[in-house]
Structures are given as C-alpha cells and as structure tokens.
Amino acid sequence: MREIVFDTETTGLDPRTGDRMVEIGCVELVNRVPTGRTFHAYFNPDRPMPLEAEQVHGLGDAFLADKPRFHEGVLDLLEFLAESPLVAHNAQFDFGFLNFELGACGHPELSLERMIDTLTLARRRHPGAKHSLDALCTRYGIDRSHRVKHGALLDAELLAQVYVELTGGLQIGLQLAAERPEQTVEIVRLAPLHREFRAPRPHAASAEELARHKAFLETFDSPLWTS
C-alpha cells in the first residue's frame, strides 16, 4: 500500500485571513517502508512573511522572492500525491492550507477521507502524554538533532518514522518478511548425540540409615509429631 507523509510551512495559522503555504515536503511509503522518493517545493506567497512565522521555519521574504507560485508547481505535486492516503501531524491544519491553495488555482480539493492524522493516533495510543513531533521522536528514540528549525521535508521524514512506530513499528518488518515467499530459511537438523546408558541410582534409604534416623528421633522429648 502506498502512502504519502507530508508537512507544510506557512505564513501563519489561517488561510481564510490571508495566510499562505510557502513550503511542502512529501515522503513516499510503500507498506509503511520509505522508498526514498520525495517531493519538496518552496512557494512565493505574494505577501510579507510575519516575523513570528519566520522565526519558526526560517523562510524570509528574500529567500522566497524568486520561488514559483503554488499554481506553477501544483501539477507536479498532484502527480506525486496521486490517489494515495495522506499522512500529516495535526492534519486538519495541513489539509486546510493545501485545499485552500488548490481551490485558489482552480483544482478540486483533496477528500478528507484520504486524511490520516498522526496527532489523533498519538492521543489514542499515549493518552495524557505530550504529542508534539519532538515529543514523539523522543519517545520512539528517533534522532532529531539536526532539526534546528521547522522544515517541511525534514519534518515529513521524521513524521514518517513516527507514523511507522505508531502503527506497529518493527512488527511491520516481520509481516513484510512473511509476505516474501522467495526468501527461505534453511533448516539444519542435527544428528542425535550418542549417550552411554547409565543405570538409575537408588534413592531409597538403606536399613542402616532408617535405623539411625529412628534412633535420632527417639532423642526428642515430647516431639510435636507425636502429640
């Protein structure tokens, strides 16, 4: 099964108030295993970048000035997404921006039936815990030391690892191995070892031992077992 894990960076929190998407990063999974195929693009938002947003992802006006507009790269993005399920963290946010950009340039919105939200998965699996991407990476031992600022492709790559852990982790690898009949395991049968026969040793006490034991018991004054 093919799935796409993706992340976006934006100028703010709400496309309905003029915020725009400025970066998208996508990672392809097949049977929950990364294939190495990715999609990554920056977009000129045609509006100034608020300082608070730039502090999150580091994408300023000067950097984005020569980048294409969303409508100029949308066909390549849609070709990569195809009809696959789409995985994102707090997916309502990313779907909201992606569908706004699609609608603005005359393309149909993506169906929410394709949405898989890792935030929802994390809340169900770890109720009461922290569910940020950083917190989940720490929980699952995923190296995020190179994540200085938010970046769409980097975050999608980290999220892909988190998603695999949330949906079964290493057990997936066992399942995939079972689905590959061409991989066989050679069974080596060892010849039984030759052992020399030994007669069983006697375990009952001898008459002499029983007599000594009886004499020993008679030395007790009013023992409990005779009361």
Helix (H) or strand (E) holding 57: helix 51-57
Q: How far apart are CA 136 and CA 31, in angstroms?
A: 21
Q: How far apart are CA 67 and CA 203, in angstroms?
A: 91
Of 4, 40, 6, 9, which is closest to residue 151 (Cα–Cα)? 9
115-117, strands of its sheet edge to edge: 33-42, 21-30, 2-10, 86-88, 115-117
Name the amino acid, one letter, at 76: D
| Domains of the chain as residue ranges with CATH | 2-118+148-157 (3.30.420.10)
Of 65, 77, 70, which is closest to residue 103 (Cα–Cα)? 70
pLDDT of residue 226: 66
Q: How far apart are CA 172 and CA 165, in angstroms?
A: 9
| 150 is annotated as an active-site residue | yes
Of 39, 56, 27, 37, which is closest to residue 161 (Cα–Cα)? 27
Separation in Å, CA 182 to CA 16, 173, 178: 53, 16, 10
pLDDT of residue 176: 46
Q: Where are the beta strands (DSSP E) in 43-192?
A: 86-88, 115-117
The strand pair at 2-10 and 21-30 is best described as antiparallel
- What's the chain's average pLDDT? 87
pLDDT in tens, 130-186: 999 999 999 999 998 877 678 899 999 999 999 999 998 755 444 444 444 443 333
pLDDT of residue 181: 42
Coil, strand or helix at 92:
helix
Query: In this structure, what token pair is assigned to residue 98?
Result: 């992606």
pLDDT of residue 135: 95
Of 71, 73, 81, which is closest to residue 106 (Cα–Cα)? 71
Which residue reads 């070709």 in tokens?
A: 79
Task: Record the pTM.
Answer: 0.73
Catalytic residue selected from 57, 89, 131, 150: 150
pLDDT beneath 50: ranges in the chain = 172-192
Of 50, 101, 46, which is closest to residue 78 (Cα–Cα)? 101
